Amino acid sequence: MCCEEIRVAFNAADKCIQNNALQVEEDHKKFKILPKQGSSDVFCRIHVDGCLITNKTRQKCDYWFRQCNQEKIQNYFVEFKGQDIQDGFNQIVDTIAQVREKGIPLQQSAIHGIVVCNKVPLTTVELQKIKERFVKNYGMSFLVKSKEYVLSPDPIAPH
């Protein structure tokens, strides 16, 4: 199930999903995907908060980038935050739950949570626990980056 099927499952407007839109900026924070040269991978950028998911009573992340090709599907759930990484974690986890509630399969090995924030707190035991909890229960990796994150779509190692 790729981008159009996701839009239909959520009964979302066409504008919520853009094919081959590989970057997004918000409040001086940026997330960008650099696909492999010559790759035929299909990516879509899904605007989640207020577009794909309009329910105001549930948390959701800002964007979901989905890489679809025959060999693999990868999901990058992206949240832009000031500094509250725990809140970003909660928003990503609740988005994953809502996607699964719509019957969209998400394999744990194909889920990456990414929080791009103004300032990354020093690596602390608390931050490490958040990352470990995500990898144990929800996805392949949980990354916290400051201001800008550029991703090469090769599988990323758990963090």
Q: How does DSSP assign 60-107, residue by residue? A: --SEEEEEE-SS-EEEEEEEEESS-HHHHHHHHHHHHHHHHHTT----
118 vs 133: CA distance, rounded Å: 23
16 part of a folded domain = yes
158 part of a folded domain = no
Residue 54 has pLDDT above 60, yes or no: yes
95 part of a folded domain = yes
13-17, 87-91, 100-104, 143-147: least confident range: 143-147
157 part of a folded domain = no
11 part of a folded domain = yes
- Quote the pTM value: 0.89
Residue 156 has pLDDT above 60, yes or no: no
Which domain does 79 fall in, by range? 3-151
159 part of a folded domain = no
156 part of a folded domain = no
Count structural domains, the chain.
1
45 part of a folded domain = yes
